[in-house]
Amino acid sequence: MTMTEKILARAAGKVAVEPGDNVWVRADVLMTHDVCGPGTIGIFKREFGRQARVWDPDKVVLIPDHYIFTADAMANRNVDVLRQFAKEQDIPYFYDVGTGEVLFGTDSHTCTAGAFNQFATGIGNTDAAFVLGTGKLLLKVPPTMRFVFDGEVPAYILAKDLVLHMIGDIGVDGATYRAIEFAGEAVERLTMEERMTLANMVIEAGGKNGIIACDETTRAYLRTRTRKPFEPVANDPGARFFAERRYDAGALEPTVAQPHSPDKRALARELGDVRLTRAYIGSCTGGKITDFINAARVLQGRRVAVDTFLVPATTEISRGLRSETVDGRPLLEIFQDAGCQISPDASCAACLGGPRDTFGRINGPEVCISTTNRNFPGRMGAKEGQVYLASPYTVAASAVTGRITDPREFLP
């Protein structure tokens, strides 16, 4: 069995499963947030009763993160609904990540957690309400597509370039309802944050989940964050894959997804005539501490030529902007000197558009280069906006020049 099949077999209480099997899967964690949470809670109370209790409060995670720093009354109400439900159900906000587990979330980018050797996938509000009440969900076992990146990653290439290259290769529907496994020497050399970027964007190719094998990098990351025991899974010898593709990581170049689809691939060096009006570094895929460190390597000693918005993905990352350094200088200082606009609070911010007063939101015909994961019309706000997706290196370099720029122009 593949890693995905082994996790689902374990969660279903079966010795083995095959692609296409329909199995009842026990959830280890259910996550919902301020956009989908109120709807999920409403369905749960309607179907299970207003006095019903969730199946296990220690396995339910409520995260207000999408539309939280706004004056919009409906957005604020959604956060209040989550807060009240957590109080009613005695739900803690903290949870431990564990390998070999099943994580469901009412967010399509729940698949990010596949970087930790989990089966993690997004589900709808109705399914989430069912999991709230029962702790399980009926799933079809997906076949696995394996993407192997051989060789060493060049210094100017980041995980975003790898995954945009892959999506451009197979298209936004090329992995529909399939598990995507990332492997190879290049992947093994990535940090956990970079692996999260890979797993995060499998949904942009239609993938059911993304997954990466557990290794010492995974274990070292988890040891600093949890005391909970975890049980990694690995592919069995002779595991069958739906398809396997191999890439030479050393041959890749800085890559960009053009409007309005993540699979509209081009090389950064081919788009030098595209003039920009803003740049954006943030989101679950592009607002991690390593993303800001990489951006700072380009922005150090330089000034941005367009409005440049920075949004840390978590409060820990927000603190890291003050404590982490590049060439002895705090990231925050580098960004301030470069003329960037830095969100004082961590959130999803403009990645999902949101109310008009959302930090960094596109409210007109802007041309933006962003580290986010989607560039459909209206994704970051106004439908007339144009969004190009790229790595933190490419976004930072482009912010300095005011046009899409190959970061090799700025990196040693």
CB atoms within 10 A of CB 297: 18
**Any domain includes 234:** no
Who wins on pLDDT, 354 or 111? 111
Residue 318 has pLDDT above 50, yes or no: yes
Residue 112 · residue 284 · CB < 8 Å: yes
Question: What domain range includes position 318?
Answer: 255-406
Tokens of 43: 């369905």
Position with higher pLDDT, 129 vs 70? 129
Q: How far apart, in whole angstroms, are the C-alpha atoms of residue 248 and residue 252?
A: 7
C-alpha of 55 from chain center: 27
d(CA 27, CA 11): 7
Neighbouring CB atoms inside 10 A of 8's CB total 24
- Measuring CA to CA, how many Å separate 112 from each of 35, 220, 263, 283, 326? 18, 18, 19, 12, 27
- The residue among 238, 166, 248, 232 whose CA lies nearest residue 204 is 166
Q: For 326-347, what is the mean pLDDT?
A: 96
Residue for token digits 């589900």?
123
- Taking the C-alpha atoms of residue 175 and residue 52, their distance in angstroms, rounded to an integer, is 38
The CATH number assigned to the domain holding 203 equals: 3.30.499.10
Q: Are residues 11 and 141 in the same domain?
A: yes
Q: What is the pLDDT of residue 95?
A: 43
Q: Is residue 411 part of a domain?
A: no
Is it the case that residue 96 has pLDDT exceeding 60?
no
pLDDT at 328: 97
Q: If pLDDT is split at 50, 70 and 90, which confidence band does 329 have?
A: very high
Q: Walk across the sheet containing 119-122 and list its strands.
A: 60-63, 29-33, 102-105, 119-122
Could you say which DSSP state residue 259 is in? T
143 pLDDT band, cuts 50/70/90, is very high
Q: Are residues 245 and 260 in the same domain?
A: no
Say what the pLDDT of residue 64 is: 75
For the segment 285-297, the average pLDDT, to the nearest whole number, is 97
**CA 49 to chain CA centroid, nearest Å:** 34
- Residue 229, judged by CB atoms within 10 A of its CB (0-12, 13-18, 19+), counts as exposed
Phi, psi at residue 370, to the nearest 5°? -145, 150
Least-confidence region, from 48-62, 77-91, 362-376? 77-91
The closest alpha carbon to 400, from 251, 285, 298, 249, belongs to: 298
The answer to whether position 188 is within a domain reads yes
CA distance 346 to 331: 15
Q: Do residue 72 and residue 183 come from a single domain?
A: yes
pLDDT at 81 over 90: no
Domain end position, chosen among 252, 285, 315: 252
In angstroms, rounded to a whole number, what is the distance separating the alpha carbons of residues 407 and 260?
22
Measure the CA–CA gap between 316 and 306, rounded to whole angstroms.
27
Same domain, 197 and 342: no
- 290/150 same-domain check: no
Query: Could you tell me if 28 and 11 are in contact, meaning their C-beta atoms sit under 8 angstroms apart?
Result: yes
Is the pLDDT at 393 greater than 80? The verdict is yes
Mean pLDDT of the chain: 94
Identify whether residues 261 and 217 lie together within a single domain: no
Residue 130 has pLDDT above 70, yes or no: yes
- 276 and 224 in a single domain? The answer is no
CA distance 44 to 225: 31
293 and 398 together in one domain = yes
Indicate the range of 35-39, 43-47, 255-259 predicted with least confidence. Answer: 35-39
- Shared domain for 280 and 201, answered yes or no, is no
SS3 385: coil
Query: Other CB atoms closer than 10 Å to residue 250's CB: what's the count?
Result: 13
Q: Name the residue with higher pLDDT: 284 or 226.
A: 284
**Residues 370, 380: Cα–Cα separation, whole Å:** 10
Q: Report how many domains make up the chain.
A: 2
Q: Which of 58, 203, 204, 6 is nearest to 123 (CA)?
A: 203
User: For position 93, what pLDDT does the model report?
Assistant: 62
Mean pLDDT of 254-265: 98
Which residues fall within 8 angstroms of residue 47, CB to CB, at 6 or more apart?
129, 130, 133
**Closest by Cα among 301, 314, 280 to 193:** 314
Is the model's pLDDT at 50 over the cut of 80?
yes
Q: In this predicted structure, what is the pLDDT of residue 94?
A: 40
Is there a domain that residue 236 lies in?
no
- Looking at residue 12, its pLDDT comes to 96
Residues 6+ apart with CB under 8 A from 283: 311, 313, 348, 349, 351, 370, 371, 372, 373
* In a shared domain, residues 151 and 269: no
In a shared domain, residues 132 and 268? no
Residue 27 shares a structural domain with residue 131: yes
Rg from Cα positions in the chain: 21
pLDDT at residue 80, rounded to an integer: 84
Mean predicted confidence (pLDDT) in 139-146:
98
Helices (H), 149-288: 159-170, 185-188, 192-200, 216-223
User: How many other C-beta atoms lie within 10 A of the C-beta of residue 70?
Assistant: 20
CB 102 within 8 A of CB 230: no
Q: Which of 67-76, 86-95, 155-164, 388-397 has the lowest mean pLDDT?
A: 67-76
Omega of the bond leading into 109 within 30 degrees of 0 (cis): no
Does residue 251 contact residue 161 with C-beta atoms inside 8 Å?
A: no
* Under 8 Å between Cβ of 235 and 104: no
Q: Please report the DSSP string for 58-76 in residue order.
A: GGEEEE--SS-SS--HHHH
Q: Is residue 235 assigned to a domain?
A: no
